[in-house]
Amino acid sequence: MELSSILKPEAVRILSAASSKKRLFQEIADVASAALSMDAQAIVESLLERESLGPTGVGHGVALPHARLPDIDSVTGVFVLLEKPIDFGSVDRQPVDLAFSLFAPEDAGVDHLKALALVSRTLREQTVCAKLRANPDPVKIYAILTEAQSVQAA
């Protein structure tokens, strides 16, 4: 599995005005809605439902919100760089400025877990995160993410 098969260039965004976790989820859902041809509110509700099980802020300014959705065919990602970090309830209590959301079919099973592991490995690399934060351009961010993953595979 490769990041380029999960994340499309048009699903990478820079956000200047997400003031809360719920607002961030709305922004992510708007992007995902276009990519998945689904109602954005249903996506927000799925993200909030998953988040109620435990925070998806994994530390070091990174969050991996994810949800299973009906009527989608494959795992799909949305990446967001926040210009102003927000409180996310992360495990290390640090605000979040990098969010990679994954949406999987309800019966995805192993594919969903593989995608989460891939994204987690990629964003655990501090050099990758530093590059993402230093390049607030969606085209560059997409290149950094997909290049980082291919370098790790080598």
For residues 62 and 53, the answer to whether their CB atoms sit within 8 Å is no
Where helices occur in the chain by DSSP H, the ranges are 3-6, 21-36, 40-51, 110-124, 126-134, 138-153
Q: Which amino acid is at 22?
A: K
What is the number of residues in the chain? Answer: 154
112 belongs to the catalytic site: no
Q: Find tokens 């200047």 and name the residue.
A: 16
For residues 101 and 64, the answer to whether their CB atoms sit within 8 Å is yes
Which sign, positive or negative, has the C-alpha torsion 91, 148, 11, 116? negative
**Catalytic residue among 66, 82, 132, 145, which?**
66
- What SS3 state is found at 56? coil
Q: Find tokens 């019966």 and name the residue.
A: 107
Q: Which amino acid is at 98?
A: L
Which residues have a catalytic role annotated? 66
